[in-house]
Structure 1
């Protein structure tokens, strides 16, 4: 059993990637994730791996494209406006079916916004960001240990399905410190050999070519439909979520992810003392979204659901789609870097359920 070490979230991301076999890191500094790059700058050269600070976010994501195309495990990290700059490259990588891991430590926006924590990149992460009919697998861990485990899982999922995978945390998760354990990872996944990689002939008759350009519309449509079949497989196999306090009927079910879910758990404990029973569904994958779990919880949620977010309600529509009109869906959120408190969440819930029972 490995010993636990106290680490900042951003630095734990870097060490987790190293344990997962990340061979190349390309990045560019932006608060509040700069420590990821700083950590990799110290560690990667010492173990014979590649760290390169690119001249821009655009350059960094295209370096990721090149390394992923050569078949090596590669990661980049950024924060909200930096991810916006990477969006075209992410679309190219998705179109070329290349595995990579993208870290987004979210800050408030839009525009340059501020450097405080937020969850306002939900749309950007789950609905595209770049162009075309592509998807990212998006993880939203809630603790530093889960962040470490998720980063390692992300590399395996990327390789299994040949897709870019995003691990999305807010600024709090990147900056806080918690004890973590780095376990020796033996994946149970049957990861395919990278016979598609553009890494020389290696006994092949022709060089592999990595590309996402299809000038004939029939071919591009066929490519898109093959991608959709892959995404359907991911939706079937890779949904992850936590249910909390839902082993019985509840007055209301909260849907919250990341560090916001930890705040919600404290609010639930406060309300429990007043006889108000609240459940929680915590999406761990934002895409694929745990729609079935939310739909199933409708039967045991007396007053319906509330989405609690550090945004102006970007996840609400996915919750409403999952509930499918069976129960009301409410919203409480803070934005711009403001963090909801347990007392604020509890007050909103009291307002919905009509006070103490």
Structure 2
């Protein structure tokens, strides 16, 4: 299959259509605007529907309604826009509806700026809405991976009847790279016998709801959801290990930051300093088991992020106190350089803080 040079936002949109998405509901916000623009142009060509809602809150509730029919649906936004969607995401998770939510994130807090950032880690992995719920979070590091994971996200959402988030910082949305649209690995997907498609007099009506006023029934529902989330943790963890042989310092980074870290690792090894990388591809479930593969040569961990330090909490949990954990980050849309990361690794090896 031939590769096509595409901008990230448009590639994600094309991947969604490839996966069978026919309905998109969203609202403009930088730096993801090319994605809804692409969907507004391309969905009508396949008898799909694009709606620019009056707000992010309206868009996520449209997603709730459309997902309730069993259709493949998607929305996208950026940081503060996703914050506005959190109540609806909680409703969708509570009602067990499949959908894909794309966050091309920017700097914050508040309106912040429009440059790339990874400061939505807590929002994505902890769930910004209310109640006990989780959703799988994919963090691609390249446009090809963004395409592949977006296509897979629709199957995963259907399989578990759960929202799935694809998160990329502004660089993923705005950069251009060659991509190809491959067929995903086949999953045996369950029938959507829960969908609100009209009874035609052949069955009782399906009711989709996240309200349960009987505490015993609500607890039973939470236990059911928790069992599903444990299955996701068991089956869907994804990560990459890079140059871990004899690593003295093991860095942990995701998304485009991991690409910068790889450059730093290559340069460090040329200088005789062995460094390696654990790259989470799923931010939730976090790849705790990857930390069991760290070689005995390791002296420290270094979490590298485009934030003030959010993933570092999960790094500490996965590390279980075995190694010292250090942090290097840039915030507000500033991007770490390989040279600065190398300096931090040398400082750690030298015993500095």
Coordinate RMSD, CA, aligned: 1.0
Contact in 2 for aligned 1:17/1:151 (Cα 8 Å):
yes
Deviation digits for residues 314-336 of structure 1 (CA, Å, limit 9, x no counterpart): 00010000001011110000000
Counterpart-to-counterpart distance in 1, 2:341 and 2:201: 61
Q: TM-score, normalised by structure 1?
A: 0.97
User: Could you tell me which residue of structure 2 aligns to residue 200 of structure 1?
Assistant: 198
User: Could you tell me which residue of structure 2 aligns to residue 166 of structure 1?
Assistant: 165
Structure 2 SS opposite 1:44? helix
- Residues 33 and 4 of structure 1, relative CA distance in 2, 3 Å threshold: same
Q: Which runs of 5+ in 1 are unaligned?
A: none
Contact in 2 for aligned 1:156/1:187 (Cα 8 Å):
no
Contact in 1 for aligned 2:22/2:46 (Cα 8 Å):
no
Contact in 1 for aligned 2:32/2:78 (Cα 8 Å):
yes
Deviation digits for residues 30-53 of structure 1 (CA, Å, limit 9, x no counterpart): 000000000001100111111111
Counterpart-to-counterpart distance in 2, 1:260 and 1:118: 10
Deviation digits for residues 89-116 of structure 1 (CA, Å, limit 9, x no counterpart): 0000000000000000000000000000
- Cα displacement (A) at 1:186: 5.3
- Cα displacement (A) at 1:204: 3.5
| Residue number among 212, 215, 218 corresponding to 2:216 in the alignment | 218
User: Could you tell me which residue of structure 2 aligns to residue 86 of structure 1?
Assistant: 85
- After superposition, residues 46-85 of structure 1 pair within 5 angstroms as 46-85=45-84
- Residues 179 and 186 of structure 1, relative CA distance in 2, 3 Å threshold: closer
Structure 2 SS opposite 1:300? coil
User: Could you tell me which residue of structure 2 aligns to residue 272 of structure 1?
Assistant: 269
- After superposition, residues 25-174 of structure 1 pair within 5 angstroms as 25-174=24-173
- Residues 196 and 332 of structure 1, relative CA distance in 2, 3 Å threshold: same
Counterpart-to-counterpart distance in 2, 1:186 and 1:316: 32
- Residues 301 and 238 of structure 1, relative CA distance in 2, 3 Å threshold: farther
| Residue number among 277, 288, 291 corresponding to 1:291 in the alignment | 288
Structure 2 SS opposite 1:211? coil
- Cα displacement (A) at 1:165: 0.1
User: Could you tell me which residue of structure 1 aligns to residue 13 of structure 2?
Assistant: 14
Q: Which runs of 4+ in 1 moved over 2 A?
A: 202-205, 299-302
Structure 1 SS opposite 2:299? coil
- After superposition, residues 242-321 of structure 1 pair within 5 angstroms as 242-246=240-244, 248-297=245-294, 299-321=295-317
Contact in 1 for aligned 2:139/2:167 (Cα 8 Å):
yes
Q: TM-score, normalised by structure 2?
A: 0.98
- Cα displacement (A) at 1:339: 0.3
- Residues 202 and 259 of structure 1, relative CA distance in 2, 3 Å threshold: farther
Structure 1 SS opposite 2:127? coil
Counterpart-to-counterpart distance in 2, 1:186 and 1:236: 20
Counterpart-to-counterpart distance in 2, 1:312 and 1:231: 28
Q: Which runs of 5+ in 2 are unaligned?
A: none
Deviation digits for residues 242-298 of structure 1 (CA, Å, limit 9, x no counterpart): 00001x22111000000000000000011111110001000000000000112331x
Counterpart-to-counterpart distance in 1, 2:20 and 2:6: 20
- Residues 186 and 340 of structure 1, relative CA distance in 2, 3 Å threshold: closer
Counterpart-to-counterpart distance in 1, 2:134 and 2:202: 31
Counterpart-to-counterpart distance in 1, 2:239 and 2:184: 22
Contact in 1 for aligned 2:152/2:184 (Cα 8 Å):
no
